[in-house]
Amino acid sequence: MVSLDSKTKQTTTKQQSSPVEEVLGLEDQFVNRHVDPTSEEIDQMLKALGFSSLDALIDETVPSSIRLQKELDLPKQKSEYEALKQLRAIASDNQVFRSFIGMGYYDCITPAAIQRNILENPGWYTAYTPYQPEIAQGRLEALLNFQTMISDLTGLEIANSSLLDEATAAAEAMSMSVGVSKSKATAFFVSEECHPQTIEVLQTRAQPLGLEVIVGNHREFDFSTPIFGALLQYPTTEGKICDYREFVEKAHEQKALVTVAADPLSLALLTPPGEWGADIAVGSTQRFGVPLGYGGPHAAYFATKEKYKRQLPGRLVGVSKDTQGKPALRLALQTREQHIRRDRATSNICTAQVLLAVIASMYGVYHGPGGIKRIAEKVHRLTVTLAEGLKRIGYTIASEPYFDTLKIETNNAPQTQQAILQAAEEQQINLRSYADGALGVSLDEATTVEEVKILLQLFAGTETLPFSLEELVPELTFEFPETFNRTSSYLTEAVFNRYHSETKLVRYLNHLQSKDLSLTTSMIPLGSCTMKLNAAAEMYPVTWAEFGKIHPFAPKSQTKGYQTLFEQLETWLSEITGFADISLQPNAGAQGEYTGLLVIRQYHQTRGEGHRNICLIPESAHGTNPASAVMCGMKVVPIQCNERGDIDLDDLRTKAEKHSENLAALMVTYPSTHGVFETEIQTICETVHQHGGQVYLDGANMNAQLGLCRPGDYGADVCHLNLHKTFCIPHGGGGPGMGPIGVQDHLKPFLPRHPVIETGGEQAIGAVAAAPWGSPSILPISWMFIAMMGAKGLTHASKVAILNANYMAHRLDEHYPVLYKGNADLVAHECIIDLRLVKKSANIGVDDIAKRLMDFGFHAPTVSWPVAGTMMIEPTESESKEELDRFCDAMIAIRKEISAIEMGEVDPENNVLKNAPHTHEMVIGDDWQRPYSREKAAYPSDWLRDYKFWPSVGRIDNAFGDRNLVCSCVGMEAYTE
């Protein structure tokens, strides 16, 4: 116990520790491995700030009116070993059945080389979203591979670098269609043969936008109701492969866009949607090596035609060039996105599913076109074997032609649905059961011949099979009808044909990883993104089979372990936030915003106040806030901030008054996005309540509040948590995330339901994600964090996060003024430094400083948000004083370099800042022509001699890439030639 401050130490001794354990020296505290600064370092930092204790600092920082007056009621903290043991016991209550349920989720084989080198590798999973592309070329290349693979498989020109899940991707397709269709129609046709969760997520999304969803049979739909778009499933949820050409033609005559939800594995054999006229293809790449995980996380894909590139939702990786003319990757067309376009953005997608997209893309790289085709053929051939066997036993297949999924009639069949299901359960097998008495079976990559025999036996009942597979198989044909046969090639690019041995693959993965700066290199002080430690013990359970190999629609009786995990995590998060209940369904922060606002909307509607549609949002808000409000059919009214950066109370009162009749909600971030604990937060909440509005709290800044204050106590009605920020789920290079929401009692009835598995409130809003609990397989991470920290540990973490931020603000203030401060000139857990002065004095912009930081081995803080021309620094509690000092020293050294420009000592254009970052190649090259030394370029600090991280490309030309948009590796290779 080194790092708990003395006051906490005393209470620990008195109240919690068992004296025997302490006497024997058995106390083992994870908190000291998560919170880096030791008590000596804490004292040194406090001294620098002029405080005598950590509590004295916190008392001055967090307004006393909102301070939590008790300790959080959480189980006593456990060591890594104890917590893992307890979670093991919980996990063992899950029964891992063999699931043939399908419906968009299939068992698959994660190649061990990919599991170990990506999924379980902090070099990959602790990276940040690639906003600083010069130090993110590795994951950008992996994502470009993903886009190329999707483009190839779907036969469409352009694909994004992942969305959250298939259902939300379909909803994004609907939104895009209404935006780009030249039709004035307000109806969207959805085939009833789509997955049920997709249909419901679409309906949820359509309702607040005033769009009508027509669910029907595509064969019978006569287009008499005009539509702006349609969604079809290929193959259908029941397994049938349909010829949609005629439907597509008719839709196009009406200027409607056709979206096709397609299984990417099937596209290795079937004519891709792009070749028969689809405008958009969406789907899930789960079965490309990503474990089922009881529903997620998995990467969804979204592909469309080139002409819609500016309307494409989500992130898009594109090729550009660096200062040396070398091809280089970066996120393209960012001006479509919420952080710039706010309420006019193409979508609210911020965190997506980068790590999972990387895994899926590497599955493609590892297997190559031949391997992917073999896997698809294997799955199909086994399915044919099963289907023909079933026919011989006397069953009718209702889903022909099929790829991997059969709908099997049980009327007048040898066995009843009930009898088969019961026999299946005894064999620990899950099948899909239809209300009409039929059964569904979906085979997958992991299916064996033995399993096909077992399945046949289940349907045969007690009878021995009247044939053997050895007799049956030679008689089978595996061809698809002509129209469905894929003739075009795919994955022809070099990258998919080069790394098929494990040696080559591992070297390729390591090569990419070495280009990326992650938390394994140095601190990533990203304001608002809380890049803290993702402890190995937290990550460990993610790949346990008891969590990984469970189908999201397995009966609840098999998922008792998961139910316990959810209950405990919900109870703990409720206690931490002060809310009555939690929904774990939203699978990113922005999804939480959307869900929370829908809950508010439903609340108003049930009270007969459905007209309330005004959403007040401070100007400083994160771009996802206005984008989410618009998705809920709300009108955004901005609230000004005053010169201190706080919400302008007068403006708030005026606008609340003005829109009193129609006020739906206020969205507010606390502590503010300016990094300040506003003292008026309760008044702000009360003002909104007085006018009948609800308070939505953006909880991205929860890391400043653990055990110190609770949104539920100071006036919020609903709040999302970014588990991938405060609660240790790693950032994954831009996802996965989880954005559960907490609500007050009066909003509990409206928490989202799910069409397949029972969950949610009594007057629930429809599903907002494909899976009932979002991305369950990463919830063990947050469970482990809370279990190991306990109440005292969490509180200590927030206190040290605040201390670390104030220490950095204090050290940097005289070099770069801290823009906003709260009470006693203190900041919360992050601070904004103002760089606009050096823009004026030396024409040095934030980007120049961000790129120069790379030469020092650092990732830049958040750049130009929430205020243009500034940087927002958030160190978190997991960084040591030594690391904070190193970063501050780098920033101060850069300030000196700027001073040299100000003094006219160096060229204002040709200098270390404007030319940053400096690559190895530039510095080693023979033609060094710069007015400063190579040493100054690459080794501006002494510590770099011991460990130097080299940016792999020079500064990237963003505008060039946007003008010459290339989003697949075909383009990349053309550049290299």
Ligand X SMILES: *Cc1c(COP(=O)(O)O)cnc(C)c1O
Per CB under 6 A, residues contacting ligand X are 350-351, 528-529, 588-590, 622, 624, 669, 673, 698, 700, 722, 737, 739
Residue found by looking up tokens 């482990």 in the block = 784
Closest residue to ligand X: CB criterion: 589
Terminal Cα-to-Cα distance of the chain (whole angstroms): 59
Contact 323, 800 (CB under 8 A): no
- Beta strand 862-863 with 870-873 is antiparallel
Kind and range of the H or E run holding 201 = helix 196-206
Residue placing its CB nearer to ligand X in the complex, 385 or 624: 624
Residue placing its CB nearer to ligand X in the complex, 151 or 595: 595
- Smallest distance, Å, CB 393 to ligand X? 50
- Reduce the secondary structure of 223-273 to three states and give it as a string: CCCCEEEEEEEECCCCCECCCCHHHHHHHHHCCCEEEEEECCCHHHCECCH
- Smallest distance, Å, CB 697 to ligand X? 10
**From CA 535, how far away is CA 301, in angstroms rounded?**
29
**From CA 967, how far away is CA 151, in angstroms rounded?**
10
CB atoms under 10 Å from CB of 340, counted, come to 12
- Smallest distance, Å, CB 496 to ligand X? 30
- Which three-class secondary structure state does DSSP give residue 872? strand
Q: Please report, for residues 101, 191, 417, 595, 679, the alpha-carbon distance to residue 433 in angstroms, rounded to integers and kept in the order given.
A: 8, 20, 8, 30, 56
Residue placing its CB nearer to ligand X in the complex, 493 or 830: 830
**From CA 349, how far away is CA 10, in angstroms rounded?**
46
- Smallest distance, Å, CB 618 to ligand X? 11
- Smallest distance, Å, CB 859 to ligand X? 16
- Smallest distance, Å, CB 350 to ligand X? 3
Q: Please report, for residues 3, 18, 597, 857, the alpha-carbon distance to residue 12 in angstroms, rounded to integers and kept in the order given.
A: 13, 10, 40, 39
- Smallest distance, Å, CB 123 to ligand X? 22
- Which three-class secondary structure state does DSSP give residue 951? coil
Report phi then psi at 959, rounded to 5: -65, -40
Residue placing its CB nearer to ligand X in the complex, 737 or 790: 737
Question: Could you tell me which of 976, 949, 934 has the C-alpha nearest to residue 135?
Answer: 949
Q: What radius of gyration do the chain's Cα atoms show? A: 28
User: What six digits make up the tokens of 586?
Assistant: 């939203």
- Smallest distance, Å, CB 62 to ligand X? 18
Residue placing its CB nearer to ligand X in the complex, 211 or 582: 582
Query: How far is CA 140 from its chain centroid?
Result: 16
- Smallest distance, Å, CB 924 to ligand X? 39
CB atoms under 10 Å from CB of 201, counted, come to 27
Residue placing its CB nearer to ligand X in the complex, 237 or 351: 351
For residue 325, what is the DSSP state? S
Q: How many CA atoms lie within 13 A of 763 on its CB side?
A: 15
- Smallest distance, Å, CB 328 to ligand X? 25
**Beta partners for 317?**
331
Residue placing its CB nearer to ligand X in the complex, 290 or 588: 588
Residue placing its CB nearer to ligand X in the complex, 35 or 588: 588
- Smallest distance, Å, CB 626 to ligand X? 11
Residue placing its CB nearer to ligand X in the complex, 585 or 722: 722
- Smallest distance, Å, CB 125 to ligand X? 16
- Smallest distance, Å, CB 342 to ligand X? 12
Residue placing its CB nearer to ligand X in the complex, 239 or 626: 626
**From CA 862, how far away is CA 871, in angstroms rounded?**
5
Residue placing its CB nearer to ligand X in the complex, 368 or 736: 736
Residue placing its CB nearer to ligand X in the complex, 700 or 765: 700
**Beta partners for 230?**
189, 258
**From CA 554, how far away is CA 571, in angstroms rounded?**
24
**Beta partners for 39?**
none
Q: Please report, for residues 165, 718, 751, 767, the alpha-carbon distance to residue 759 in angstroms, rounded to integers and kept in the order given.
A: 19, 18, 9, 10
Residue placing its CB nearer to ligand X in the complex, 516 or 698: 698
Residue placing its CB nearer to ligand X in the complex, 239 or 732: 732
- Smallest distance, Å, CB 673 to ligand X? 6
